[in-house]
């Protein structure tokens, strides 16, 4: 997926640890409409692994997971 994808909404959970990034991601996705793109910014390594897995289990699509810093990630999710 190219970097020109424009997120519909951004969830910044940097500075938060489990389970908050995961829980907040699920809550945010439930409020979004099909086809919208959610951008998640995080710095907790375990959530960077867990969020993409849980997103796919709930039927949504992970468009991109990228490391943006020493311990920061950006995840793009397409809501189904």
Active site residue 18: yes
Say if residues 40 and 27 touch (Cβ distance below 8 Å): no
Catalytic entry in 1, 18, 23, 46: 18
Question: Is residue 77 within 8 Å of 37, Cβ to Cβ?
Answer: yes
Tell me which residues are annotated as active site.
18
């Amino acid at each position: 997926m190219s970097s020109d994808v424009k997120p519909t909404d951004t969830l910044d959970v940097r500075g938060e640890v489990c389970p908050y990034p995961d829980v907040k991601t699920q809550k945010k996705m439930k409020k979004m409409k099909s086809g919208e793109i959610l951008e998640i910014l995080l710095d907790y390594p375990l959530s960077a692994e867990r969020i993409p897995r849980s997103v796919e289990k709930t039927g949504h699509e992970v468009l991109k997971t990228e490391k943006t810093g020493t311990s920061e990630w950006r995840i793009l999710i397409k809501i189904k």
